[in-house]
Amino acid sequence: MSLLKTENVIMQFGGVVAVNDLNIDIKKGELAALIGPNGAGKTTAFNVITGVYTPTSGKVLITPTDSDGNRGEIDITGKKPDKITGLGVARTFQNIRLFKELSVMENVQVATHLNADYSFLSAILRAPKARKGEKQAKAECEFLLERLGLIDLRNEKASSLPYGQQRHLEIARALATKPQLLLLDEPAAGMNPQETDELTDLIFKLKTDFGLTIFMIEHHMDLVMEISDHIYVLDFGCTIAKGTPDEIQNNPKVIEAYLGVDADVED
Amino acid sequence: MKELQNSLGAYLKLHWKTAVFLVVLLLGIGLADQFVDSYMRRILNLCAIYVIVSLAMNLVNGFTGQFSLGQAGFMAIGAYTVAVFTVPIESRAAIFYLEPMAPFLANIQLPFIVALILGGLVTAVVAFFIGYPCLRLRGDYLAIATLGFSEIIRIVFTNTQSITNGALGIKSIPTISSLWWTFGIALIIIIATVLLINSTYGRAFKSIREDEIAAEAMGVGLFKTKMTSFLIGAFFTGIGGGLFAALLGTVDPKQFYFTLTYNFLLIIVLGGMGSISGTVIASFVVTLGQEALRFLDEPMAFGLDLPIFRPGLRMVVFSFLLMVIVLFYRKGLMGTNELTWDFMAEKYRALKKRLGGKKTATEGGAKK
């Protein structure tokens, strides 16, 4: 059963075709990766899925499970990012986009706003419903911060955190929206091998504990090959390969894209 | 009932300092209301109104990060609503002597508080129609549109003779002189803003200020949230305008030039974009400061005929002082901090430490 599907998605900026005929099919509960050389259109693909860009043509479909346990396919092409997040698709950003002046706790709390079912008037008047909602959201946020090892830093400004923890905070914030599909845009960028190992474990654990489906862009090949179920390879906007890690590693086209044409050399 | 008592008790235990402060503040207002002269009363009332309008402006500009410059126009709507609906019916013929008041309005007179709230609501409705196209755009469009709107409102009010009495303005508005009206409402609005900012809506506002793209990706609807902030701000500004009309007892379009907006912009920049307490402090500093420096405008200050003490010097000195403050406090007096008990305790500790350190180094250091 697929959770995310894109059908012939094309994203053009003037004469530049950033994403050309993207067909992705991600099953519920799997961990898929999107790889490719710099400028291949990976982040653009993410931006199309999350509604930052409306594709020039093609369709983005998701099949989330609603609160009653029913599933139905929803066309999210061209929907606003906040609506798409509301349907269970959360993301992190390649060049960290935290709310810098807000505290760590507030950063996560912002992401619970979409589940707030009370009006601003009851929020001002601190009506019982608003109190209950705030309390519950706070508990959820604390749980997430605990889970990602940030609970002791909850009152720090987000911009004062070290780089690695800012990345963790981005993940915590995305999880606070209660996603079913989590898009991670280069979660291990700028991390050393040890940190990358830890992150690999963390992503895998989060996936099982929260019942997530994960789609991630990543350049660290050990990470990708270790935990992905499926890999999509982009080059100049086109999908040049898709398959399991083993298939991708031995695909001549992929080797060519990464290493150049005369690729006889071992990795 | 018992439960309520318990929760109230728990609340007081946690916030007893704030509760004591509020009681002292209310006593202070009560005392001031009894004993100050009419000049001081006028200035204090003006301070409270400036607190209301600046706070509303800071909600939109400082907390939500949307650059709106429509304060004067919004105030005008609130002020005129109060004026039109509270002027005694018997004196209307004398005021509207060029052209009689429009028949559908001529016989309606509302109590002050009703007219005041109506003023806020009308302002919010007008704000909705400005915000609807403008808040969808990113960047400075809102600033330009609201600035333009503010001028349009002034010109419309100058020309709708049968409703606003045009350039003649409306006189004999029943005035309020008690400090309770202005300070009471200011207090309510301050508390409401604090509660709003510390709720999930306040955090949504701030997230938009910090990063629109991330906010949207976290499920914060940009348009809806910006609109909420904009409308609440407009409502408060309308209330502030209504109080302004009732304080002066007269409204005319010239009071609402866009220079009025810059007064509030000055206050929120000085106090700190995104600080409620900073805005309150700056409102008093600016309003009282402009009055305190009035002696500079008088040629015979200190009993000497000094050549530079001429009308206008006040604003020169005042502007210079502002520049000095902004130079030393880049982000305004408070930045995005709030004057909470914790904040003060921290500052006090830091000050004590600094003074203690100096004491050991030089003997006279303890003075400051």
Pairwise CB contact (< 8 Å): A82 & B219: yes
Give A165-223 pLDDT, tens digit per residue.
999 999 999 999 999 999 999 998 888 889 899 999 999 999 999 999 999 999 888 88
Asked if pLDDT for residue B48 goes beyond 70, the answer is: yes
Chain A contact probe: residue of B4, B190, B199 with most A CBs at under 10 A: B199
A31 is a domain residue: yes
Asked if pLDDT for residue B367 goes beyond 70, the answer is: no
Range of the domain at A143: 104-177
| B200 → closest Cβ in A99, A101, A116 | A116
| B216 → closest Cβ in A81, A112, A124 | A81
Q: Which residues of B touch A100 (CB under 8 A)?
A: 210-211
Give A123-153 pLDDT, tens digit per residue.
888 888 999 999 999 999 999 999 999 999 9
Residue of A nearest to B232 (CA): A120
Whether residue A189 sits in one domain with residue A137: no
Across the range B113-130, mean pLDDT stands at 96
| A112 → closest Cβ in B200, B211, B222 | B200
Q: Which residues of B touch A176 (CB under 8 A)?
A: 218
pLDDT at B126: 96
Interface residue ranges in chain A relative to chain B, Cβ cutoff 8 Å: 50, 52, 80-83, 85-86, 90-91, 93, 97-102, 106, 109-114, 116, 120, 123-126, 130, 133-134, 137, 173-174, 176-177
pLDDT at B302: 66
A111 is a domain residue: yes
Give B219-257 pLDDT, tens digit per residue.
999 999 999 999 999 999 999 999 999 999 999 999 999
Q: Which residues of B touch A120 (CB under 8 A)?
A: 196, 199, 201, 228, 232
> pTM for the full model?
0.90
Give B348-358 pLDDT, tens digit per residue.
888 888 887 65
Chain B contact probe: residue of A110, A170, A175 with most B CBs at under 10 A: A110
Residue whose pair of structure tokens reads 């004993």 in the numeric block: B35
Which of A191 and B190 is assigned the larger pLDDT? B190
pLDDT at B364: 39
Residue B54: which residues within 8 A CB-CB, separation 6 or more? B264, B267, B268, B271, B279, B282, B283
Whether residue A187 sits in one domain with residue A73: yes
Q: Are B227 and B135 in contact (CB under 8 A)?
A: yes
Asked if pLDDT for residue A265 goes beyond 60, the answer is: no
Residue of A nearest to B222 (CA): A82
Asked if pLDDT for residue A49 goes beyond 60, the answer is: yes
Whether residue A53 sits in one domain with residue A71: yes
Cα angle, residue B143 at apex, residues B139 and B144 outer, rounded to 5°: 105
| A91 → closest Cβ in B217, B221, B274 | B217
CA gap A50, A257 in Å, rounded: 27
Q: Are B252 and B169 in contact (CB under 8 A)?
A: yes
Whether residue A210 sits in one domain with residue A109: no
Whether residue A167 sits in one domain with residue A54: no
Give A91-104 pLDDT, tens digit per residue.
999 999 999 999 99
Nearest to B106 by CA among B122, B82, B90: B90
Whether residue A57 sits in one domain with residue A32: yes
pLDDT at B350: 87
Whether residue A145 sits in one domain with residue A15: no
How many inter-chain contacts (A to B, CB under 8 Å) are there? 104
**pLDDT tier for residue A263 given thresholds of 50, 70 and 90:** very low
ipTM for the predicted complex comes to: 0.90
pLDDT at A1: 77
Nearest to A84 by CA among A196, A194, A177: A177
Top CATH class, B38-270+280-291 = mainly alpha
Whether residue A160 sits in one domain with residue A125: yes
Q: Which residues of B touch A126 (CB under 8 A)?
A: 195
The residue out of A143, A177, A211 marking a domain boundary is: A177
The terminus-to-terminus CA distance of chain B in angstroms comes to: 51
A12 is a domain residue: yes
Nearest to A199 by CA among A164, A225, A232, A230: A164
The residue out of A177, A209, A229 marking a domain boundary is: A177
pLDDT at A80: 93
pLDDT at B334: 84
**pLDDT tier for residue A261 given thresholds of 50, 70 and 90:** low
A237 is a domain residue: yes
A220 is a domain residue: yes
**pLDDT tier for residue B359 given thresholds of 50, 70 and 90:** low
Please tell me if residue B222 touches chain A, with a CB cutoff of 8 Å: yes
A97 is a domain residue: no
A99 is a domain residue: no
Q: Letter for the amino acid at B38?
A: S
A50-59, A255-264, B169-178, B331-340: the lowest-pLDDT one: A255-264
Whether residue A248 sits in one domain with residue A212: yes
Strand-pair partners of A243: A231
Whether residue A206 sits in one domain with residue A168: no
B11 token code pair: 């609340």
**pLDDT tier for residue B264 given thresholds of 50, 70 and 90:** very high
CATH number at residue A222: 3.40.50.300
| B213 → closest Cβ in A97, A112, A176 | A97
A71-85, B45-59, B60-74, B353-367: the lowest-pLDDT one: B353-367
Burial string for B13-41 (b: 16+ CB within 10 Å, else e) reads: eeeeeeeeeeeeeeeebeeeeeeeeeeeb
Domain count, chain A: 2
Across the range B18-45, mean pLDDT stands at 88
Chain B contact probe: residue of A84, A106, A120 with most B CBs at under 10 A: A120
pLDDT at A264: 54
Across the range B42-68, mean pLDDT stands at 95
Whether residue A197 sits in one domain with residue A127: no
The mean pLDDT of chain A is: 90
pLDDT at B232: 97
Q: Which residues of A touch B231 (CB under 8 A)?
A: none
Whether residue A116 sits in one domain with residue A56: no
For residue B368, the tally of other CB atoms under 10 A from its CB is: 8
Across the range A36-45, mean pLDDT stands at 90
Q: Are A174 and A111 in contact (CB under 8 A)?
A: yes
Question: Helix B38-58 vs helix B222-248: angle between axes, to the nearest 10 degrees?
Answer: 170
pLDDT at B76: 96
Across the range B84-109, mean pLDDT stands at 88
